[in-house]
Amino acid sequence: MSVQSSSKTSITQRFDSYQPSKTLLAWACVVTAIATMIIGFSWGGWVTGGTSSKAAAAAGDTARGELASAICVERFKAAPDASAKLIEFKAITEGYKQRQFVEAGGWATMPGQTSADSRSVQGCATALAV
C-alpha cells in the first residue's frame, strides 16, 4: 500500500498558489463595496446628508418649541394676577379654548414676533394644565 500524501496539497499550499485574475479582483471589490453600503445603511445607522439635515431641523424646531413653552409658563407665573388667571385657565375644559386663552394672554408670543408659535402655545397650555 502506498501513501499518496505527497500528491495531495494542503489548503494552505493551494491558497498560496492561487492567483486570481484582475477581473475577479475588481468584481470582488465592487461586491464588497456594495455589501458594505447595504449593511451600513440597513443596520449600521448610516444616513444620507439630506436625512441628517431633516433630522437636525426637526430637532431644532422641537427644542425651540420646548424653550418657548418654558418661557411662556414663566411669563404666565410672573404675571401680577397669575393665581386668578390660573384658576380661570383651569376652569376651561376644552384644550383648544385653553390654547386660545394662552395665546390671547400674550404669554406665548416671543420677543420680536407678532404672533405665538403653535408648538409653544400647545406646550404652555399642557404645562399649565398639570
Please state the pTM of the whole predicted model. 0.66
Rounded distance, CA 32 to CA 118, Å? Answer: 49
What are the tens digits of pLDDT across the range 20-77? 899 999 999 999 999 999 999 999 999 999 999 999 999 999 999 899 999 999 999 9
Helix, strand counts (H, E) of the chain: 6, 0
Q: Residue 21 is which amino acid?
A: S
**Grid-cell match 500500500, residue found:** 1
What is the torsion angle, in degrees rounded to the nearest 10, for the CA atoms of residue 78, residue 81, residue 86 and residue 88? -150
